Amino acid sequence: MKTAALDAQANTSAVIRLQGLQRRYVMGAEFIDALRAVDLTVEANEYLAIMGQSGSGKSTLMNIIGCLDRPTAGEYWLNQQRVSEMNDRELARARNQAIGFVFQTFNLLPRMTALANVEVPLIYSGLNRKDRYVRAKSALETVGLADRMMHRPSELSGGQRQRVAVARALVTNPSILLADEPTGNLDSSTGNEIMKLFDSLHEQGNTLIVVTHEQHIADHAERIVRLSDGDILSDQKS
Amino acid sequence: MLITETIRISLMSIRGNLFRALLTMLGIIIGVGAVITMVALGTGAQRAIDEQMAALGGDILSIQSSSWFSRGVARDQQTLTTDDAMALAVGSEHVSDVVPEISSRFQIKYGNKNFNLTTIGTTPNYPDVHGFTLAHGEFISPADNSARRRVVVLGSEIPGMLEVDAALLVGQKVQIRSITFEIIGVMEAKGGSGWRNPDDDIWIPLSTAQFRVTGNEFVQTISAKVSDASTVPMAMLEIERVLRREHGVLPGKDNDFAIMNRKQFAQSRQEATQVFTYLLAGIAGVSLVVGGIGIMNIMLVTVTERTREIGVRKALGATKGNILLQFLVESTILCLLGGLLGLALGAGASALLAKYAGWQTVVTSESAIMAFGFSAAVGMIFGIWPAKRAAGLDPIEALRHE
Ligand SMILES: Nc1ncnc2c1ncn2[C@@H]1O[C@H](COP(=O)(O)OP(=O)(O)O)[C@@H](O)[C@H]1O
Ligand SMILES: [Mg+2]
């Protein structure tokens, strides 16, 4: 079996390229290597699932890819740009423009309507009120929530909240959509709806990375990377 | 664009916890209210003095013999005479009127009533110069003065003391130092000019006073009226020149008289009031600072409470600057709202003080703007630390925060 990582090293047009990525958590005298030396390349329009047991380093990897966390060692290129060289403004811009992040716990702002939540990234993109409205509305339509725009998160079901979160991740047309256990807090039928949504987003040409520990969720993806104890165990087409 | 968005977000979060916002603002509300009230009281007191000064008319210089100050030795030497008054009336062009005065406290008897009253011997132009008007009868006439008549004019409060209607008193007799005088007039009330009450004085002709009481030509005070306030310094020089010549004071020697300017007294009183106002406002300002510390405290709590929100915003593309601005704007808005409520409180308190305590209060736009600007500054200064803390949060740490 040939690993996709080897193939990708020659390719410079990758959306994401990780090389020898390490993330060490230091707690006093002790430390944990959540990631040891991860090499990974993701091309445009790929649909990737990251699998692994709890504590294997999936979230740590996603947070680094999402520019929310920094690696202890190794290199990360996002759209051919070296992330370690970015300053606060450039990182904020990368989170805003290049990446759409869907969290397991939704992370919607509770006092705002669905529409206002989806508009938040557009505020930081510097769009005016009217453009924000148009784009947020169309993102909510994409996830099938056109009729729930004025609801607050507390007035929505779990599946609907996650759809709002997906709309919010989509709204800036990012290069890549990251989802860390997006169905983890949902029942299985709602989870399946979200996965169908991801499938259709992939069909529309989006690049996706979905973290899960459930095989039937991972089966939606074209490629499955298995993590174990901070290392890539396998990387194969599904 | 982003600033209006920031303001909107801040308003939303303030509205989300209105009661706490109100408690947070309380310090600022009380601080601004106190500053506004104190300044209103001070300004009111100054305005009262201004009005008194305006009531003084142009300006009146008061000339007295300065024998008391003579080389530290207290010598009761009189130097001013009626001739001096005449010389001033003729010889100084900036002085429009001159009134010589002698005053003493004498026993006055009317029927079975007995009072000690300040009795002023003076000339017919006295009411003009000092701003009195007659309520009944007439003032001392030139003929009264030259004939040393025993006539008297009463201050407006005397009829009340005698328990007789003012109009009925004209033509009646009183005893001054056991000498019978005829009452020829009663003054209109003038009101205190701050030092003493002029409405319980009585007036007799100057010549009568000199003949009956002092037995000489000296006068105690010469009041010189200067109609144009801007010429007061020149008038003072003129008076000095005329009197030195009259008294034959040699060059290099001290004046044997002193010229006092009533407006100067009023001005120094006004300055004292101003200092007092600043002092009070300063003390009230301290409570503004205490209010600012309250704001800082709550903002720090808010940052901790909203750590997750900060994490979400950062994950969605907010820069450090965006977060910093948001918390800074929020604390500034809190302070400005507090300032607005404080302004209302201060204006209300000033109105109540004016109504029930009878103090003159004036809320000026300057004091309102000042208190407002100050509270905005307090919001910004005390918002910086919490805002910096929020901005410096690591996105992933903030997202993990429960
Ligand atoms: N903030 C942290 N501090 C210390 N250790 C951490 C922290 N976050 C994660 N870890 C550790 O890193 C390892 C990987 O964690 P994580 O990436 O969350 O795993 P997964 O998402 O696959 O369950 C675990 O052993 C976890 O305990
Ligand atoms: Mg995880």
> Which atom of ligand 1 is the closest one to the Cα of A54?
23
The binding-site residues of ligand 1, defined as CB within 6 angstroms of any ligand atom, are A 25, 27, 32, 34, 52, 54-60
Give tens-digit pLDDT for B192-211: 655 567 888 999 999 999 88
Q: Helix B365-391 vs helix B320-352: angle between axes, to the nearest 10 degrees?
A: 150
**pLDDT confidence tier of residue B44, bands split at 50, 70 and 90:** confident
pLDDT for the residue numbered B216: 76
What's the token pair of residue B389?
Answer: 């803390």
- Residue from B224, B174, B231 nearest B203 by CA: B174
Q: B12 in contact with A at a CB cutoff of 8 Å?
A: yes
- Residue B151 confidence (pLDDT) above 90: yes
Whole-number pLDDT of residue B131: 83
Contact B187, B133 (CB under 8 A): yes
Say if the Cβ atoms of A120 and B316 lie within 8 Å. yes
Q: Which of B2, B13, B317 sits opposite A92 (nearest CB)?
A: B317
Say whether B317 and A95 touch across the interface (CB within 8 A): yes
Whether residue A9 contacts residue A41, with contact meaning beta carbons closer than 8 Å, is answered with yes
CA pair distance A126, B87, nearest whole angstrom: 85
Tokens 């009023």 sit at which residue?
B266
DSSP label at residue B372: H
From A3's Cα to the closest Cα of chain B, the distance in A is: 31
Residue B391 has pLDDT above 70, yes or no: yes
**What tens digit of pLDDT does each residue of B65-78 get?**
765 444 555 556 67
In angstroms, what is the C-alpha Rg of chain B? 34
Residue A206: closest CA among A45, A48, A97, A96: A45
What is the 8-class DSSP label of residue B348? H
Does residue B158 surpass a pLDDT of 60? yes
Report how far apart, in Å, the C-alpha atoms of B214 and of each of A205, B207, B217 are: 118, 10, 8
CB pairs under 8 A between A and B: 62
Which parts of B135-205 fold into alpha helices (H)?
Answer: 142-146, 158-162, 166-169
- E runs forming strands in B254-363: 257-261
Cβ distance B291 to A67 under 8 Å? Answer: no
**Within its chain, how far is the Cα of B84 from the centroid?**
35
CB atoms closer than 10 angstroms to residue B216: 10
> How many Å lie between the alpha carbon of B278 and the closest alpha carbon of chain A?
45
Q: State residue B193's pLDDT score.
A: 55
| A44 close to B (CB below 8 A) | no
Is residue B8 less than 8 Å (CB to CB) from chain A? no
pLDDT in tens, B167-176: 888 999 999 9
Cα A24 to middle of ligand 1, angstroms: 10
Instruction: Check residue A12 and give its pLDDT.
Output: 64
Q: What's residue B75's pLDDT?
A: 53
Nearest to B135 by CA among B104, B166, B97: B166
Within 8 A by CB and 6+ apart from B66, the residues are B79, B254, B255, B256, B257, B258
Is there a contact between B231 and B94 (Cβ–Cβ < 8 Å)? yes
CA distance to partner chain B, nearest, from residue A126 (Å):
7
Instruction: Provide block-wise average pLDDT over 10 residues at a time, chain A (238 residues).
Output: 44 87 95 96 96 95 96 96 95 97 94 95 94 96 95 96 96 95 92 94 95 94 96 93
CA–CA distance, A21 with B95 (Å, rounded to integer):
98
Q: Which residues of B touch A93 (CB under 8 A)?
A: 317
**Each residue of B206-233: pLDDT tens digit?**
999 988 777 777 888 899 988 777 788 8
